[in-house]
Each structure stands twice: as structure tokens, then as C-alpha cells.
Amino acid sequence: MYRENYINSLRLEMVEMVREYLSPAALKYGYADVALESTIKWRPLVLVVGNYSSGKSTLINEFLGADIQAVGQAPTDDSFTILTYDDEAGEADPVRTTEKRDGKFLLNDPDYPFEILKKHGHRFASHFRLKKVNSQFLRNLALIDTPGMLDSVTERDRGYDYQDVIGDMAQLADLVLVLFDPHKAGTVREAHTSLRETISARTFEDRVLFVLNRIDECASLSDLLQVYGTLCWNLSQITGRKDIPPIHLTYSSRAAGNADSFHPDTRGFLYHLQNQRKKLKEGILDAPRRRLDNLASFIETHSERLDQLLEAMVAYRTRLRDFRIKLGLIGGLLCLICGGAAVLAGISVGIFGGFTDPIAVSAGIGALLLFLFLWRVGPMGFFVRVCHNRSLKNIDRLIPLETQTRRDTWQVIRPVVLRYLEKTGGRFPLKTVKNEYNRVHRIYAEGAREVRKALNELAGIKPDQSVFDGLSSPIRDEAIPPEPETENPEAAETADCLSQKQS
């Protein structure tokens, strides 16, 4: 429980950090259209994608401990379903759906992070829903069950862009499970491409878990190896990498039993891969910890960008202020000369009696003030505009960009800086922007480091065993094959190899 509480309070603190320090500046300077925390404030999310009939809903039901999602060989369910915990439901009750919400409600409720999915239109909204389930599995995370990939002809009939939706959901998710099955090992290329495009290359490996499901349907170990090889090949083609990402080899013993698909010869290798289901479950239950990693990266990335953005604003305003001071001094000097010249001219033509004549002094001061006013509205305004335009033209010289990291960050925020300076004409108070810069800089320089320190501390805290043990599913493993009496050493060795590769 200690670790769970630690994770939860750390998550809330990090969201608060974003809300209090980063969001205000992000909204004010047009870096973000909606508050930064709107996509991260909800619970950790696990997205489950794959072909239809790859066993997504079966897997989810098994972990929830009840038949919550419809399952079937044909494309049964064409909806995106958020499965989340019902805090109000009694824990002793049998696991069931306690409440349902439709897509329109979800997309418009600011308590949920799904506003960014609104753009996918009404057809998507009618295929989007939420179920509250009183399953302990969902206590610290929410799952998203998705309709499977279909062939391209049917794709067009969906009425919304499936790939785009998957991409947006993957951005919200802390963990993405990509399911394959032996019949279609490698045909989720499209889903994979949209994931690749939306999840940054740096975090892709941490965020995506590949699962080869329904392995009980492989007639033998060599059949499984063939499927595994095909999948590896397809994955390496899709990712463009030679090293194969870890793949969980698993199956639903309950569905396998129902489907009556156990070939007696297959029991040997299945026995050695039984732990994979448990490992997968543990991997999913680790989503809250993954959320912390993602939040840490989120804070690092956005605080770095906002820090540079505000640095540029301060640099611009300081430059303008210095230029104004210079212009003011020149103007003051010119006005003094002009005022003095006016008095001298007055004396020389005999209008004023002399330098001590009070009328001459007042006339001199009046002339000085008039020249000052004319200077400010005329030449000074003109020179300030010239300085502003020159700053915009040479925007890349506003702040030092000595490292590649700073240059990369600058490329992202440059248009934001330009837009804001053009919109305001450079008229914003230097003091305010300096204060904002100091606040964001504290997060960038110290906050992000503190967060990493807390995460390192967390790594030293042992997982709460109760989290995993207390979640034994009421859907029993009816068809788990018994350990083969005479173990085939070759098969065992190969299965071990596969398992080891994944750990």
C-alpha cells in the first residue's frame, strides 16, 4: 500500500506543478490552446489495440474478473470503450458494470481528458463510451478497449479516421498493448505506423508492449516458432530496426478451453509459457509507475520549452527597454537643445528680456515639453517600430542557441514567440514576464530534477505484493494445461529461450 500511495501522491504533485507553474504561461503566450494538465490529470491509461478477434476483449474481461466486454469471432464490438473504476461501488459486490456514459458526455466533460478527441466528429462520438466497473484491477488505472483493425474497404465505412483516433489515444496512454494472433501475425501495420508517428521515438519502447495472443492455437512448438519468426520479421520491417522488441507470448486458458482448441501435443510448450499471462498482468498494473515516468518527461519537455520561450520574451523586452532608454536620452538632449535655442532666439529678437526673465524660463520649459511630446509620438515611435521589426526579422538572434538541444527546442517555440510578438507589437510589461520566467525556470532547473530524484527513490521501494496477489481473477483458469509428465527437454529449452528474450 505504501508504494501505491507514494505513486498516487507523487502523481498528484506533478500534475499540480504543471497546473500552477507551467499552464498559466503556456496559455498566456499561446504555447497551448488548453491547459497543459488537461490531458494528464486523469488516471493512468492503458490502450489495447490489435486486429479484431486477437483477443483484446477476452484479455480485458479476464483481468477485470467478469464478462464486461462482448467477445466473439466476428468483429463483435465496433466501439472504443473506456473501462474505469467506480469509486462509489461496494468492493464486496460481484464485479459488474455499475454505470455507463456515452461519447458525447465524455468528450464534453472537462473532468475527463478526452476533449482532444472531439475533432473526430459525431460518428466517432457515437462509437465512444465509458463503463464504470467495480473491479479491483481498475483501482489505479483505466483501460481502453478498441475495435479491431479491419480490411481497408470496411475501414472507409467507419465514418471517422481510425488511425488518427488510435494515434490520439496513444498520446494519452501510458502503456499501449499491441495484440497479434497466430492467424494474422503482422497485419496491424497501419495501427503500428500511427503509433510510431505519435509516440516519440525516445519513449516508444517504454510505452508499447507487444503481445502474441491465442498461442494455444498453434498446433505445435514449431508452429509457434514459425508464427513468432513471422511476427519478428514483420515488426522489424515496421520499426526499421534489427533488434526485436520484447513480445509476450500468451493465451486465454478460458477461451482456449471454450474453443476446444487444445491439441494434446501443444500442452508441453504452453505449460512453459503460462507465466507470461501473469507477467503481462503485472506489466499492465505497472501503468501508474509508467505514468510517473511519462509525467516526468512531460514536465522536462514543457518546462524546457516554456523556459526558452520566456527567456526570448525577456530578451526581446530588455532589448526594447534599453533601446527606449537610449532614444529617451537622445530625445531629452535634443529637446534641451531645442528649448535652449528657442529661448536664445527669443532673447536675440528681443521678445524676452534675458535668461532670468520668468517668461523666457516658462517659454523654454514649454518648448522643451512640446519637443519631448513631438519626439515621443513622432521619431521615437518610429524608431521603436523599426527596432521591433528588426527584432522579428532577426528573431533567431534573440537568445544564444549554442547547443543542438537549444536549437531543437527553439524550432518548436520559434513560431509561438513570433506570433505573440506580432500580436502584441511587443507591448507587454518586462517585470511581469521576468516574474513568469523565474517561476518556470525554477521548475526547469530544480522541479524536474526533484521529480527524477523522487522517481529514483520510488525505484528502491518494493512493489506492494498485495496489488498483484489480491487480484486473482474470479474467471478461473479452467483449462490451464497440467505440467507434462515427461517433459520434452528440447521444447522446454526453446520456450525458456523465448521467455528470457523478453525479460
How far CA 325 is from CA of 203, 383, 384, 388, in Å, comes to 48, 12, 11, 15
Q: Assess 79 for contact with ligand GDP (CB under 6 A).
A: no
Of 62, 77, 286, 311, the one binding Mg ion by CB under 5 A? 77
How many contiguous H segments (helices) and E segments (strands) does the chain have?
21, 8
Cβ(185)–Cβ(231) below 8 Å: yes
Cβ(47)–Cβ(176) below 8 Å: yes
x/- site string to ligand GDP, residues 112 to 131, per CB under 6 A?
Answer: --------------------
Q: What torsion do the CA atoms of 396, 400, 404, 405 make, to the nearest 10 degrees?
A: -100
Of 10, 18, 188, 255, the one binding ligand GDP by CB under 6 A? 255
Instruction: Count residues near Mg ion (CB under 5 A).
Output: 3
| Window contacting ligand GDP (CB under 6 A); options: 122-130, 251-259, 291-299, 467-475 | 251-259
Residues 472, 458, 456, 16: is their CA dihedral positive or negative? positive
Q: Assess 58 for contact with ligand GDP (CB under 6 A).
A: yes
| Window contacting Mg ion (CB under 5 A); options: 28-36, 75-83, 172-180, 346-354 | 75-83
Q: Assess 53 for contact with ligand GDP (CB under 6 A).
A: yes
Q: Assess 304 for contact with Mg ion (CB under 5 A).
A: no
Task: Write out the binding residues for ligand GDP, residues 207-226 only, by CB under 6 A.
Answer: 213-214, 216-217
Cβ(93)–Cβ(134) below 8 Å: yes
Q: Assess 62 for contact with Mg ion (CB under 5 A).
A: no
In this chain, which residue has its C-beta nearest to Mg ion? Answer: 57
Out of ligand GDP, Mg ion, none, what residue 11 binds, judged by CB under 5 to 8 A for its kind, is: none
Out of ligand GDP, Mg ion, none, what residue 303 binds, judged by CB under 5 to 8 A for its kind, is: none
> How far is 271 from 28, CA to CA, in rounded Å?
59
β-pair partners for 141: none
* 391 CA to centre of own chain: 33
Q: Provide, rounded to whole angstroms, the least separation between the CB of residue 477 and ligand GDP.
A: 12
Out of ligand GDP, Mg ion, none, what residue 255 binds, judged by CB under 5 to 8 A for its kind, is: ligand GDP
| Window contacting ligand GDP (CB under 6 A); options: 65-73, 241-249, 450-458, 471-479 | 65-73
Out of ligand GDP, Mg ion, none, what residue 217 binds, judged by CB under 5 to 8 A for its kind, is: ligand GDP
Q: Assess 480 for contact with ligand GDP (CB under 6 A).
A: no
How far CA 80 is from CA of 4, 50, 159, 166, in Å, comes to 28, 13, 14, 10
The residue (of 213 and 294) whose beta carbon lies closer to ligand GDP is 213
Cβ(227)–Cβ(273) below 8 Å: no
Of 252, 266, 276, 409, the one binding ligand GDP by CB under 6 A? 252
Kindly state the DSSP code that residue 51 receives in the 8-state scheme: B
β-pair partners for 175: 46
β-pair partners for 177: 48, 209
> Does residue 84 come out as left (phi exceeding 0), alpha (psi in the -120 to 50 range) or beta?
beta
- Burial grade of 92 (CB within 10 A; 0-12, 13-18, 19 or more): exposed
Q: Assess 57 for contact with Mg ion (CB under 5 A).
A: yes
| Window contacting Mg ion (CB under 5 A); options: 77-85, 125-133, 402-410, 431-439 | 77-85
> How far is 157 from 139, CA to CA, in rounded Å?
36
Q: Assess 266 for contact with ligand GDP (CB under 6 A).
A: no
> How far is 338 from 346, CA to CA, in rounded Å?
12
| Window contacting ligand GDP (CB under 6 A); options: 248-256, 423-431, 462-470, 473-481 | 248-256
> How far is 363 from 29, CA to CA, in rounded Å?
47
Of 38, 39, 54, 140, the one binding ligand GDP by CB under 6 A? 54
- Nearest by Cα to 232 from 279, 180, 277, 268: 180
Q: Assess 72 for contact with ligand GDP (CB under 6 A).
A: yes
The Cα diameter of the chain in Å comes to 128
Q: Provide, rounded to whole angstroms, the least separation between the CB of residue 434 and ligand GDP.
A: 55
Residue numbers of the site for Mg ion (CB under 5 A)? 56-57, 77
Residue numbers of the site for ligand GDP (CB under 6 A)? 50, 52-58, 71-73, 76, 148, 213-214, 216-217, 251-252, 255-256, 258-259, 261
